[in-house]
A and B are shown apart, each in its own frame.
Chain A
Amino acid sequence: MSGTGHAAVLVAAMAFCTILLRFLPFLVFRKRVPPYIVYLGEVLPPAIIGMLVVYCLRNTQVLAAPFGIPELIAAAVVLGLQTWKHNSLLSILSGTAVYMLLVQAVF
């Protein structure tokens, strides 16, 4: 856990960078956006989602009990529901509920 000072710096850094990204086009690209930036804008978002999935699961116990089984089951619930119903809120709530049930009551 970060101390108050460091945490405040981290929050400020996150806020500043987010604001910077939202304002930059209005300050810099008034007329034309460089093609490389346009390309990154298309391909980065899905790649970063992939990265964040791995980031979230980085501490999963794969080699010892419960061998990542709760994560696997809950992830299957989310992916299945989302592909079927396309309702993000439903998928997130169901997957989380299943995971909480598994880690609290089963494993």
Chain B
Amino acid sequence: MSRGDAAEPAGEAFDAAEAMDAMNYKVTNNKVAKQAFLKSLPVMAGYVVLGIGFGVLMHNAGYGIVWVFAMSTLIYAGSMQYVGVGLLAGGASVITAILTTLMVNARHLFYSVSMLRLYRDAGRCRPYLIFALTDETYSLLCDGGAPEGGNDDLYRLLVSAFNHSYWVIGSVLGSLLGSVLPFPTEGIEFSMTALFLASLAEQWTAAGNRVPALTGLICTLLSLLVFGPERFLIPAMLLITLTLTLFRGRPARGNEAGI
């Protein structure tokens, strides 16, 4: 009896402390969620707009909301989905789809490589964190973690999930808008060209080494002239990989300066 009495106050104190901890944790978690949301706002603007573009393109190509939702949820890679519209509309072969995806998304390999250490102990949410690692999510997560004392894994999970939801919402919105837009959408497919041109301009001004970009442009142009617009993609990818592999023997000046 006396043992029970002695144990009880201690047990209460412990419970109280735990409850306080849980409360503090909850407050911190709210802070983490707020920070994750605020940080994701610029991505929201970009993903919703580009998502709408994707949805409209899919609509114009004859693929409705179910396709748009499935692609944005399961593929969740902007450039590839834009290219994917063309592959679907053109009735591309499976091998073309596979090779194109591997080339267009090759960079994701390296985002994952640089996240190896960071995501090692992320526990149950790790598979989702890896799945949802897009260009924009990667750059946000490289830019810092949760606020002081917050749960970093929760922060990364929320940033990833917010961004994913913006992309899905934007593209579904685009699919719906596609049928009711009050103005003719002819020419809206240029948004995809513009996306890649903007990327090219950005890399052109930032990169010390312009050989890779030039290799991509020239090899693809050659391949287009030789094989025609229906079947030049695979030869172009092979030619690019081959050319870049041959260039590898030479030290790239820009890269050396960077190191």
A63 beta carbon closer than 8 Å to chain B: no
Min Cβ gap B44→A in Å is: 11
Q: Which residues in A have their C-beta under 8 angstroms from that of B214?
A: 50
**Interface members, chain A 25-77 (any B CB < 8 Å):** 25-26, 29-30, 33, 36-59, 70-71, 74-75
B207:A46 contact, CB within 8 angstroms: yes
B74 beta carbon closer than 8 Å to chain A: yes
Binds A, one of B11-19, B146-154, B164-172, B195-203: B195-203
Q: Which residues in A have their C-beta under 8 angstroms from that of B62?
A: 1
Q: Which residues in B have their C-beta under 8 angstroms from that of A101?
A: 187
Q: Choose from B77, B119, B192, B202 the contact partner of A18 (Cβ within 8 Å).
A: B77
Min Cβ gap A42→B in Å is: 7
Q: Which residues in A have their C-beta under 8 angstroms from that of B81?
A: 14
B94:A50 contact, CB within 8 angstroms: no
Chain B at the A interface: SS class: helix
B83:A47 contact, CB within 8 angstroms: no
B143 beta carbon closer than 8 Å to chain A: no
B106:A45 contact, CB within 8 angstroms: yes
Interface contact tally, CB-CB below 8 A: 257
Min Cβ gap A21→B in Å is: 5
**Interface members, chain B 111-152 (any A CB < 8 Å):** 111-113, 116, 119, 130-131, 133
B220:A54 contact, CB within 8 angstroms: yes
Alpha-carbon distance A73/B158, docked complex (angstroms):
41
Chain A at the B interface: SS class: helix
**Interface members, chain B 37-87 (any A CB < 8 Å):** 45-46, 49-50, 53, 61-63, 67, 70-71, 74-77, 79-81, 83-84, 86-87
B89:A93 contact, CB within 8 angstroms: no
Count of interface residues, chain B, beta-carbon cutoff 8 Å: 94
Alpha-carbon distance A14/B196, docked complex (angstroms):
19
Quick one: given A39-B248, A96-B187, are A47 and B101 in contact (CB under 8 Å)? no
Q: Which residues in B have their C-beta under 8 angstroms from that of A9?
A: 94
Q: Choose from A10, A18, A21, A53 the contact partner of B197 (Cβ within 8 Å).
A: A53
By Cβ-Cβ distance, the 6 closest A-B pairs, closest first, are A50-B216, A47-B216, A100-B187, A17-B101, A82-B201, A99-B190
Q: Taking beta carbons and an 8 Å cutoff, which residues of A are in contact with B?
A: 1-2, 6-7, 9-11, 13-15, 17-19, 21-26, 29-30, 33, 36-59, 70-71, 74-75, 78-79, 82-83, 86, 88-89, 91-93, 95-96, 99-104
Given contacts A46-B216, A89-B49, 15 further A-B contacts (CB under 8 A): A7-B63, A10-B84, A11-B74, A11-B84, A14-B81, A14-B97, A22-B112, A22-B130, A43-B252, A46-B200, A47-B213, A55-B83, A82-B197, A92-B49, A92-B195
